[in-house]
Structure 1
Amino acid sequence: MLTKQKFWINDMEAITCIMFILIVIGTINICSASLITAYTNFENPYFFLIRHLISLLIGFVAFALTSRFNYKKLKNKSLLLTVITILSLSAVLIMGVTVNGSKRWLSLGFMQFQPSEIAKIVTIIISASYLGQCIDKKIPITVNPQKNIIFLLCLIIAGFVEAQPDMGTALIIIGIPTIMYFIAGLSKKWIGIICGIGFILLTLLATFQPYRLDRINSWYDPWSRSQEDGYQIVQSILAIGSGGFSGMGLGHGFSKYSYLPESHTDFAFAVFCQEIGFMGAFIVFLLLIALAFYCIKIALRTKDNFGKMLVCGITLLIVGQATGNMAMVIGIVPVVGVPLPFISYGGTSLILNMISIGLVLSVDRHNHIIKKSTKNETITTPPIKYLSKKKHLYRLK
């Protein structure tokens, strides 16, 4: 009798393999996309690749440790993680490294560190802790600061990031916990209040800085401003379109020759599309969908509500950023500076994304341990009276 063969041994193997494939694709793309910029600025064509490989090594170690770590211990560390995050974001505003007019990095000597990347995962952890507890105890979920300080802390952390300024990351930091609240069962009343206040705040933030209005105008009609604010998005669209179905070939794209700004960071996907074409872009798209699928499977079968909400938040973080970056690169949304996970250059982002995937594996691993321990429980021996009855019946037969 033929047995059905599985492509993956389990969902953990599937997620790990998908992540490694995306990392390989990203490493090759970063090497190609950053060659010219690295040589022009540092006289070393492999400057960014070397730094990427160092971050990758750290990420592998962090991933291995996190996947074996008991994620439930994070609930007791929520306050400590929040304090560390707020202090590091405060340090950025005081002594941070300024790049392109924004203070987003702290210098560690051998590398620069971006605390806002930590803020993304920390807000997910503290939100999952609160929501999991509410679901366990059947407590109504609310964002009222008098009853729930967690959502207020997420707003404060997002405010620190916005002050850098980094509106794109700030929206992720507050947006993902908000969606997690919706998933957990937030009342329609509070959903309406959040949507209304959020729309007002977005409008105010968009008009607060003149360059944000320019980005919106250039997004609406980039071709009329192709030599001004719309230059970046126009060059991105041209790069993607020139790649066609099969691309120009790895290393043969011309947009990285100072035509497309941030060609190895936020717009790395445009260079990838130009060199590998629609075929390569579609493969990355399918890999991200598969990653989301297996993460959702883990979330659905996880009995622990903290773990369930944690996996939901991490899935939203990885796939949500990927969706935002792709939409930005092809001109569907304004330029907001969101990286493409595992594909765009960024050491802190890469390490934190690998840690996030490690936490997903930790949730699934401990879920399997609980199931195995339940199945292997010893069966208590039946009462003596029952045994005697069974024995008597056997004799009669």
Structure 2
Amino acid sequence: MKKQRRFWINDMEALTYIMFILIIIGTINICSASLITAYTDFENPYYFLTRHLISILVGLVAFAASSRFNYKRLSHPNWQMGLIAITILSLAAVLLFGITVNGSRRWLPLGFMQFQPSELAKIVTIIISSSYLGRCLDKKLPITIDPRKNIVFIVCLVIAGFVEAQPDMGTAMIILGIPIALYFIAGLDKKWMGIICGVGAILLAFLATFQPYRLDRLKSYWDPWSRAQDDGYQIVQSILAIGSGEFSGMGLGHGFSKYSYLPESHTDFAFAVLCQEMGFIGALVMFFLLIAMAFYFIKIALHTKDNFGKMLVCGIMLLIVGQAAANMAMVVGLLPVIGFPLPFISYGGTSLILNMTSMGLVLSVNRHNKTTQTNSGNNTVYTKK
């Protein structure tokens, strides 16, 4: 029987290929979307592209290192205390010495680049939550957020509080929301599910309305066209950009939204430029790549015997695919404008580097778990090492 041809030989290779395809698409999109802003602000049309390419090189080193690093070491208390200390200190430093852009302090100047500690906070809260939940599952302990039994959830709350103080509600929601989702996946007690849902809804309503600009964003979300020259301007321009791309797009570099019509065209709203220039076809390619990525994340999680590794893969899947889905929903107007970047597509050096590091950790889980993946004919067989 003729051997069936395969695009890749295992799940690790599949995830790696998909990640690099997304990075290539993102690089092309950033080059196009940022040309006008880069020339206007820095008199160099390739300013953002150059910095993005440097971030890719750093990310490749981080990806290679984390994929060969034994992820199980991250469950050791010393590693976790170190990660928590670095995260909280860097977040505190942002509030004291950070660079203010559009009314928010989110970046620390490091001379050759700017570092965004809130991106580090995302992966650190996933690591510490996965470690706690893994231990509970190993020992068959009840999953709880009772502060008398679970200090990890309190640490996540503190970290999210630091990020909210910048202010950055969108990132704070990710930092707290992904660990909560992991608790649900692990089997959180129904009583605590009800408490989280109730308190979370009240807290979310309060945070979304206690500052005037957030309330204005909610109003523009419900009816952006009536506020098209005010708070609804960005989402209206985003929808117009997407619609103008039609089926096949205007062609790479030919989109007009980047000519100061669409704010944040190379960052949070990069997907709108992609749709305008690559059309429905480009959006569909993005959609299927993310679906494929989620599929292989789930396959790796299901074949991981170590509960810490299983929860870590689920958390990183939510970080990459979940954040991408939220960004795309925001750009098309299904969610309010709350600042979710599109992983591997939106411009942002810290985000790109740490997302590539996270992908490396998933490969580490697959490499160090208790099963070995082999191919037998047309079937994939998993055997113990």
Same fold (TM over 0.5): yes
Could you list the per-position Cα deviations for residues 141-189 of structure 1 after superposition, in whole angstroms to 9, with x for gaps in the alignment? 1000000000010000000000000000000000000000000010111
- Pair 1:244-2:242 in alignment: no
Change in Cα spacing, 1:255 to 1:375, as seen in structure 2 (3 Å) is: closer
Could you list the per-position Cα deviations for residues 214-244 of structure 1 after superposition, in whole angstroms to 9, with x for gaps in the alignment? 0000010000000000000000000000000
Deviation at 1:80, TM superposition (A): 1.1
Change in Cα spacing, 1:136 to 1:371, as seen in structure 2 (3 Å) is: farther
Q: Distance in 2 between matches of 1:91 and 1:369?
A: 43
| Counterpart among 274, 277, 280 of residue 278 in structure 1 | 280
What SS does the corresponding residue of 2:108 show, helix, strand or coil? strand
| Counterpart among 154, 157, 161 of residue 156 in structure 2 | 154
Aligned to 1:102: 104
Q: Which runs of 5+ in 2 are unaligned?
A: 375-381
Letter in 2 for 1:346: G
| Counterpart among 191, 201, 208 of residue 193 in structure 2 | 191
Aligned to 1:131: 133
Q: Distance in 1 between matches of 2:359 and 2:352?
A: 11
Aligned to 1:62: 62
Deviation at 1:83, TM superposition (A): 1.0
Any residues of structure 2 matched to 1:352-363 within 5 Å, and which?
Answer: 352-363=354-365
What SS does the corresponding residue of 2:299 show, helix, strand or coil? helix
Q: Which runs of 5+ in 1 are unaligned?
A: 378-397
Q: Distance in 2 between matches of 1:55 and 1:376?
A: 38
Q: Distance in 2 between matches of 1:26 and 1:85?
A: 27
What SS does the corresponding residue of 1:49 show, helix, strand or coil? helix
What SS does the corresponding residue of 1:98 show, helix, strand or coil? strand
What SS does the corresponding residue of 1:103 show, helix, strand or coil? strand
Q: Distance in 2 between matches of 1:152 and 1:266?
A: 29
Q: Distance in 1 between matches of 2:341 and 2:208?
A: 20
Q: Distance in 2 between matches of 1:294 and 1:50?
A: 31
Deviation at 1:4, TM superposition (A): 3.3
Change in Cα spacing, 1:249 to 1:192, as seen in structure 2 (3 Å) is: same
Could you list the per-position Cα deviations for residues 108-139 of structure 1 after superposition, in whole angstroms to 9, with x for gaps in the alignment? 00110000000000000000000000000001
- Pair 1:47-2:47 in alignment: yes
Q: Distance in 2 between matches of 1:300 and 1:240?
A: 37
Contact 2:105 2:167 in 1 (8 A): yes
Identity %: 76
Aligned to 1:313: 315
Any residues of structure 2 matched to 1:311-350 within 5 Å, and which?
Answer: 311-350=313-352
- The higher radius of gyration belongs to 1
Change in Cα spacing, 1:59 to 1:201, as seen in structure 2 (3 Å) is: same
Contact 2:370 2:384 in 1 (8 A): no
What SS does the corresponding residue of 1:314 show, helix, strand or coil? helix
Aligned to 2:256: 254
RMSD over aligned Cα, in angstroms?
A: 1.4
Change in Cα spacing, 1:47 to 1:331, as seen in structure 2 (3 Å) is: same
Letter in 1 for 2:153: F
Contact 2:133 2:311 in 1 (8 A): yes
Q: Distance in 2 between matches of 1:318 and 1:369?
A: 24
Any residues of structure 2 matched to 1:66-105 within 5 Å, and which?
Answer: 66-76=66-76, 77-105=79-107
Contact 2:31 2:48 in 1 (8 A): yes
Aligned to 1:392: none
Q: Distance in 1 between matches of 2:233 and 2:362?
A: 39
Q: Distance in 2 between matches of 1:243 and 1:249?
A: 9
Letter in 1 for 2:120: I
Letter in 2 for 1:114: Q
Contact 2:323 2:342 in 1 (8 A): yes
What SS does the corresponding residue of 2:16 show, helix, strand or coil? helix
Could you list the per-position Cα deviations for residues 58-116 of structure 1 after superposition, in whole angstroms to 9, with x for gaps in the alignment? 00000000000000001111111011101100000000000111000000001100000
Could you list the per-position Cα deviations for residues 310-339 of structure 1 after superposition, in whole angstroms to 9, with x for gaps in the alignment? 000000000111011000000000000110
Q: Distance in 2 between matches of 1:267 and 1:7?
A: 31
Q: Distance in 2 between matches of 1:15 and 1:331?
A: 29
Deviation at 1:208, TM superposition (A): 1.2
What SS does the corresponding residue of 2:231 show, helix, strand or coil? coil
Deviation at 1:6, TM superposition (A): 2.8
Contact 2:234 2:263 in 1 (8 A): yes
Q: Distance in 2 between matches of 1:209 and 1:357?
A: 36
Change in Cα spacing, 1:375 to 1:196, as seen in structure 2 (3 Å) is: closer
Deviation at 1:375, TM superposition (A): 7.0
Q: Distance in 1 between matches of 2:206 and 2:222?
A: 19
Letter in 2 for 1:117: E
Contact 2:59 2:357 in 1 (8 A): yes
Letter in 2 for 1:47: Y
Change in Cα spacing, 1:49 to 1:193, as seen in structure 2 (3 Å) is: same
Paired residues, what number? 376
Contact 2:304 2:371 in 1 (8 A): no
Deviation at 1:7, TM superposition (A): 2.6
- Pair 1:15-2:15 in alignment: yes
